[in-house]
Structure 1
């Protein structure tokens, strides 16, 4: 559980896939609480709820299968004050996550829905990652040089090595190339 929570803390994006049996797992609900905490804290994690064959209002208001799962959780913790507080945190996290802009993929072609989600997340990540390049003096020259070496118009595999002494910006140039190629 500790490794999972650390991974959540270090993530830029959290996809929360709500399914019919989502609320039956205490472990998953604890992770959701952590995700929502990370969204509020300084790391400002992007949280994208995905409603997979479940009505978003059932998640938001804990109805249907969510109501059944919470009835079991409450009966398990009925004599435990800390347990009931945990159940309340789960409820609040579910409501908060369901209130976020997300995807209801009960209809449509599943692969198209997935592609739409990937495109949205990629665009959000590219916006955040490319923004750091604006203040780097002289990066454009290096980017153009590497792009010319890649010969992007040719549909072929290319490998370019970036070498030099430590601290001169090799990693920054490589990240910038990846960021600009992803946005093409």
Structure 2
């Protein structure tokens, strides 16, 4: 069952509304801001082993904890910042995930220097098959297994699959995302 179909079967209404907002306005749409791309990567990494609903409910806490996903600030985090994050009940307090966020921020700073932006690094490698993306992410980033890479890339429009062709949002994504024409 696709995410598009699953939303309609969700109960109660508050749960459905949370997913519908993400589905209708964010999932599969391109992101052109490096900090927001980094934020989506943090959220996808933190979803591993948990429900996406858990992550959506904690999004504002993630934003607050990680300085609104500011890549340069996160890359400069100290051991005190790591400890702060690991004691923050508003986010996922997993040492591997916290360390991955900080180390991935440092990696993205390097990619920005080399390519001009995280987005340009992604564009430089597009299009690729999922297996090729997985190898690239595993080589480049921390804590980025196949499902994380797949969901991250679908959620930002680099891989098809975020919406069924009969989903009303599918046509909206096509209007906003010329990358789908290259997939």
Give yes or no for TM over 0.5. no
Greater strand share, 1 or 2? 1
Kindly name which structure, 1 or 2, has the bigger radius of gyration based on alpha carbons.
1
The one of the two structures with greater contact order (alpha-carbon pairs below 8 A, sep at least 6) is 2
